[in-house]
Structure 1
Amino acid sequence: MKTRRTLVLGGGLAATTLALAACSPTRALNALLPSSTHVLTPDLPYGPDPRQRFDLYQPTTPQPGAGYPVVLFLYGGSWNRGARADYRFVGEALASRGVLALVADYRLYPQVRYPEFLHDCARALAYALRESSRLDGDPQRVFVIGHSAGGYNAAMLALDARWLAAEGASPRQLAGWVGLAGPYDFVPIVNPDVRPVFHHPDVPPDSQPIHHAEQPAIRTFLGAATNDSLVDPQRNTGQLAQRLRRGGTSVTLRWYDRVNHGTLAGAFARPLRWLAPVLDDVDAFVKAA
């Protein structure tokens, strides 16, 4: 999903102005990254298409006996835009906490529509499950994390087994999933950028994560900004948490007051962590597995 909101930061950040959203440039945040926390291996393939690539962030902290926890991160952008290079600050943040991070691209509209981008995300996640040991990761602690449209993608992989099944894998192989400001119940579609992605007006009913939340699912972390004007936090995050819990799923729910839709993801970055403890909360969820 996208937003054009701009956050003006003052004080020690020298009034840096950043247009932070799931699809906007984040060069200022990425320019401030330390190099000592991670080893970056860019442009690794998980499929044949040029968009089926990921960047790998390996921690420089000592490797645990069973390997590092592993996270596949999926960004947002209304399924229309986005690039893994814009989210270096997320990969670095996770690696700095001793988490092996894969930040992946996937095909976007108009190259593909629903559900093809889910096949890409499932393929990337199956790669993480299959190759985690080779990458010094722990195959018993693999997670998928997504923000905005990427949160939708993560939800579908975690809650609807058919996507991973097509890749010879299962959500039950995951140690958990994280959705940040994801759209989980957005029919009727009002965003004109999103309508063609989901074949509006013939949107498949089973395309909505909320319809896959009645049965017990894997451990879940849901986070959202209380004042998200782009993706209704109560309808989407609040409702999904309620329905998952009703179905017997363990859900950690966090609301953040000082961020909006875009800066919720931006809070992974060192200069913006004062806005919300998103990284701390996600790290605690991953380490508790």
Structure 2
Amino acid sequence: MASHIASAEPMQQYLQEARKYDYLTPDQERDLAIRWRDRQDRAALDRLVGSHLRLVFKMARGYSGYGLPLSDLIAEGNVGVMQAAQKFDPDKGFRFATYASWWIRASIQEYVLHNWSLVKIGTTGAQKKLFFSLRRLKARMQDLENGDLTPEAVESIATELNVPQAEVVEMNRRLGMDRSLNATLAEEGDSEWQDLLADDRPDQEASLAEAEERQRRQQFLKLGLGVLDDRERQILVARRLREEPLTLEELSQRFHVSRERVRQLEVRAFEKVQRAVVASAKEQKIAAADKGRELARA
């Protein structure tokens, strides 16, 4: 529905499209979700998703400080809301917006991480959390000035996110923080940038969605490992997936090759897994986008 709108048309037209859909009452939302789940009623899906396009726009703007086109962020958010609609269970008793928010956020964050040149692929969960939480934590501490953080602020953020203080300093410098979080979104508005920052505190519904997303990522990893031969798989697991990775020396003795050969095999294995995972993820996104276009034509 909205994927092609967000990428090919101006933002104003996207918002005009979003405003065509009224906000739903809980009963209306549940009825639409049941009609889609039980009867694959495309009109119901169109209205359920369409009524949350404004949520996609709001969440996407919260990530526009990373230097990526807003239209692309919205397109990724649209993929997320479509994924949420496919998995939403109205019988669990919570609102679709609560459930969809996690999928929208996850889709946008994945896109940001894959396109942010200063954040390497393969960062830990704590580093990713730091990447997306630094602005919010600085706003809470009212430390919004450009430049380095105070030692006290660095220590506080590092402790809360369980990352080394050096990573906090480095990430702060990378992001630049060239926009005050108290700046308004528009001259005529009173909403501030910090109002749109994603809140990473989990609730019950988000935890459920996160578990489903974790399962999806595990499936991706299993698929990726499946393209490796036995030696490559053992090396990659030992070097990248263990809590305490084995050294090159230990693996060189196990496989009777040089340490440099082990390193080469590790790099090759990681690249093969990465290509397999990216290809699979891209196929899923294309499928979700195709569903959106089908809805637009329906």
Give the TM-score, by structure 2 length: 0.27
| TM-score with structure 1 setting the length | 0.27
- Larger relative helix fraction: 2
